[in-house]
Amino acid sequence: MTDGSVSILDGNTFVVSDDRGDIEATPTDTAGLFSFDTRFLSKWVLTVDGERLSALSTDDLSYFETRYFLVAGTGTVYVDAKLSVIRRRAVSEGFSETLEVLNHDDQAVDLTLRIEADADFADLFEVKDALKKKGTYTREAAPGRLRLGYTRDTYRRSTAISSVPKAKADEAGLTFRIRLGPRESWKAELEVVTEFAGLERLAKSSGRGRARANMESELERWLDGAPKLHCDWDPLLTTYRRSLVDLAALRFSPLTAGRRSLPAAGLPWFMTMFGRDSIITSLQALPFTPELAATTLRELAIRQGTRTDDFRDEDPGRILHEMRYGEMTAFEERPHSPYYGNADATPLYVVLLDEYERWTGDRKLVRELESVARAALNWIDEYADLQGNGYISYQRRNEETGLENQCWKDSWDSISYRDGRLPGFPRATCELQGYAYDAKRRAARLARTVWDDPAFADELDRQAAALKRRFNRDFWVEDGKYFALALDPDGNQVDALTSNNGHLLWSGIVDKSKAKAVARHLLGPRLFSGWGVRTLAEGETRYNPIGYHVGTVWPFDCSFIAWGLRRYGFKDEAAQIAAGILDAADFFEGRLPEAFGGYERSVTKYPVQYPTACSPQAWSTGAPLLLLRTMLGLEPVGEHLVVDPALPVGLGHLELLDIPGRWGRFDAFGRGFMSAERAPKLREQLGAAG
């Protein structure tokens, strides 16, 4: 990990600690044991005879289990190695920790082991904004156990700590006094359980606290069930495995989903259901793990908006933005129960439903969700057209805690004119129109083939065609030959050049005659850094290579751009983007961050990670999967999977075996060209030749 911290997780329960396994949270620090958006341990510090320990090494056994090898003392030069301590921690319903002490000396020793424990029960929102708590704390110590509690009204959360053998417990922690003979060792098992008063029955049925043995065999099953990758470029194999393991770790079961799971958005802040992120990751992972899409579709349907609620920015038919379970949500101090303020998840929901059917042939689910899809389509026309001009636009109604920018580029300065001015609201960003177009086209197909409503299909096709015509007229920046980022409240173009153009190709809303100019921009010097496509083009006033949405490169964004380029036949260009992102992944040991700097590749030689990017992040994890799809040109057509590979130079062969779908299992093969004259390098890179 970048900051020396170690994270392990299971669903939305996770631990962030230092490399000794210790937790020492400050009010704004993310260290701790978290579950359902609440910090259940803010302090967990081990000492031997009053001294902190030093880390020799840390071993991530799996995403839910870590082992820490420690020695007594914190001296920087000399470490007395007569005593070593091994902590082995696994996350489940809280965590369990095995503490082992080994005496390497030929003398007996008397030792005092102490674990200091505390819990602030902070809501994740409080950790982010450093807010004060409103409830009261309790501490109950009994032999072998300590219970830390927090109460505000009917809201009660507690952390139950126990040990075998029984420790002497006080309100601040647990103490073991032990005597170790020469070469002897000693062991204790510590159990930390997160408790939710009044929610136990819900939490239990959600599959929380799966036994460790189950988790191991379950991860094996997950990896076995995924298609097998073979290729002649080893870093891609590492990246692929990393993606599958991280995706397993990011699975999350909402309280209503039983043991089914969907992708949460990212660690540590975003281990929850997000409409946009869960849909996008499910799309990326469809050729690999289609069951994620099924759960995403079902769970988002259950929570589809049905009424008008300004606090939650809810409308009938709208797909949720974010669900949270912490104290501030519970007391309606935050709107996340759930919050609906996004403008893209609703059309993207329909896109996922169609893409899911094309891959799996699961018509039963598509029939079940017909009314949900119709309500989503109705939202596009009846609730999202804030200006009455036929375009989706957004303006929050919750002016206190709602989101200003309700598209994926949701930071405050992400939507700007070339000259850096920010437009007023409502804003109609371009990619939303592409998603709406695609949603209508795809829904038309479903209406024709599954819902048996050809009249509705014709109507949707007509609307889509009209939207496409208008869009290509109103958003096209004539003097730049690209699509404007948005229309402002006066209907004028917000004329900055951005990566959003790639999403438009993906949606198919771009006129054929304009596609070449768009592709040229995406691979041109202002947008393409050599690693990927910058969110905002170099030369625009707000361009900043480390600006969150105004210059960094987002791997997920690039994976959709590559898909879009393929849709319009730009195979080599798509391969070039795949090469850049996969090269970058190699620098991050296969785990792509949320975003990295937009610096020119030839200048920095390596991708510069965005300082506070969250990692692993679901749609970054999904990016290599979608890039495998675009490189192999996988496309379901009827009952078959069509393969049309276009590999980057340097990738000689690529095989993806056992791709699941309506065809059963299918193998895809691709052959490419090796560049013979390429000079040997320290590090073999795919995109450097391009």
**Contact residues: another protein, CB under 8 A:** 152-156, 197-199, 201-202, 205, 255-256, 302-303, 306-311, 314, 325, 327, 329-332, 335, 337-338, 368, 371, 397-402
Rounded to the nearest whole angstrom, what is the least distance from the CB of residue 369 to another protein in the complex? 8
Question: Which is nearer to another protein, 75 or 258 (by Cβ)?
Answer: 258
Question: Which is nearer to another protein, 131 or 199 (by Cβ)?
Answer: 199
Rounded to the nearest whole angstrom, what is the least distance from the CB of residue 471 to another protein in the complex? 32
Rounded to the nearest whole angstrom, what is the least distance from the CB of residue 155 to another protein in the complex? 4
Give the H or E element holding residue 626: helix 618-632
Question: Which is nearer to another protein, 309 or 461 (by Cβ)?
Answer: 309
Rounded to the nearest whole angstrom, what is the least distance from the CB of residue 374 to another protein in the complex? 11
Angle at CA of residue 482, ends 381 and 466, nearest 5°: 30
Question: Which is nearer to another protein, 38 or 621 (by Cβ)?
Answer: 38
Report d(CA 387, CA 364) in Å as an integer. 37
Amino acid letter at 576?
Answer: Q
Task: State the SS3 of 256-283.
Answer: CCCCCCEECCECCCECCCEHHHHHHHHH
Of the candidates 373, 264, 326, the residue with the CA atom closest to the CA atom of residue 128: 326
Rounded to the nearest whole angstrom, what is the least distance from the CB of residue 218 to another protein in the complex? 23
Report d(CA 383, CA 240) in Å as an integer. 40
Rounded to the nearest whole angstrom, what is the least distance from the CB of residue 620 to another protein in the complex? 29
Amino acid letter at 306?
Answer: T
Question: Which is nearer to another protein, 115 or 353 (by Cβ)?
Answer: 353
What is the DSSP track for 178-209? EEE-TT-EEEEEEEEEEEETTTHHHHHHTTTT
Question: Which is nearer to another protein, 327 or 594 (by Cβ)?
Answer: 327
Question: Which is nearer to another protein, 313 or 357 (by Cβ)?
Answer: 313
- Compute the 3-state secondary structure of the chain and give helix, strand, coil in percent, each to the nearest 5: 30, 25, 40
Rounded to the nearest whole angstrom, what is the least distance from the CB of residue 205 to another protein in the complex? 7
Rounded to the nearest whole angstrom, what is the least distance from the CB of residue 49 to another protein in the complex? 42
Report d(CA 188, CA 166) in Å as an integer. 9
Question: Which is nearer to another protein, 260 or 662 (by Cβ)?
Answer: 260
Question: Which is nearer to another protein, 186 or 383 (by Cβ)?
Answer: 383
Rounded to the nearest whole angstrom, what is the least distance from the CB of residue 399 to another protein in the complex? 5
Report d(CA 451, CA 447) in Å as an integer. 5
Question: Which residues lie below 8 Å from residue 353, measured CB to CB, with a gap of 6+?
Answer: 297, 366, 369, 373, 442, 446
Rounded to the nearest whole angstrom, what is the least distance from the CB of residue 534 to another protein in the complex? 35
Of the candidates 531, 535, 512, the residue with the CA atom closest to the CA atom of residue 415: 535
In the 8-state DSSP scheme, what is residue 533? Answer: B
CB of 476 within 8 A of CB of 413?
no
Question: Which is nearer to another protein, 152 or 166 (by Cβ)?
Answer: 152
Give the H or E element holding residue 500: helix 500-507
In the 8-state DSSP scheme, what is residue 306? Answer: -
Question: Which is nearer to another protein, 238 or 401 (by Cβ)?
Answer: 401
Rounded to the nearest whole angstrom, what is the least distance from the CB of residue 566 to another protein in the complex? 36
Rounded to the nearest whole angstrom, what is the least distance from the CB of residue 650 to another protein in the complex? 49
Question: Which is nearer to another protein, 309 or 635 (by Cβ)?
Answer: 309
Rounded to the nearest whole angstrom, what is the least distance from the CB of residue 395 to another protein in the complex? 12
Question: Which is nearer to another protein, 4 or 198 (by Cβ)?
Answer: 198
Residue 383 burial (10 A CB sphere; 0-12, 13-18, 19+): middle
Of the candidates 143, 134, 218, 139, the residue with the CA atom closest to the CA atom of residue 174: 143
Q: In the sheet where 6-10 sits, what is the strand order?
A: 6-10, 13-17, 32-35, 38-41
Amino acid letter at 395?
Answer: Q
Of the candidates 389, 483, 477, the residue with the CA atom closest to the CA atom of residue 430: 483
Task: State the SS3 of 431-471.
Answer: HHHHHHHHHHHHHHHHHHHCCCCHHHHHHHHHHHHHHHHHH
Report d(CA 129, CA 123) in Å as an integer. 10
Rounded to the nearest whole angstrom, what is the least distance from the CB of residue 672 to another protein in the complex? 47
CB of 283 within 8 A of CB of 275?
no
Question: Which is nearer to another protein, 106 or 153 (by Cβ)?
Answer: 153
Question: Which is nearer to another protein, 74 or 308 (by Cβ)?
Answer: 308
Rounded to the nearest whole angstrom, what is the least distance from the CB of residue 302 to another protein in the complex? 5
Q: Output the CA torsion sign for 452, 455, 459, 461.
A: positive
Question: Which is nearer to another protein, 221 or 367 (by Cβ)?
Answer: 367
Amino acid letter at 127?
Answer: V
Amino acid letter at 668?
Answer: A
Report d(CA 25, CA 132) in Å as an integer. 15
Rounded to the nearest whole angstrom, what is the least distance from the CB of residue 113 to another protein in the complex? 36
Q: Output the CA torsion sign for 51, 56, 62, 63.
A: positive
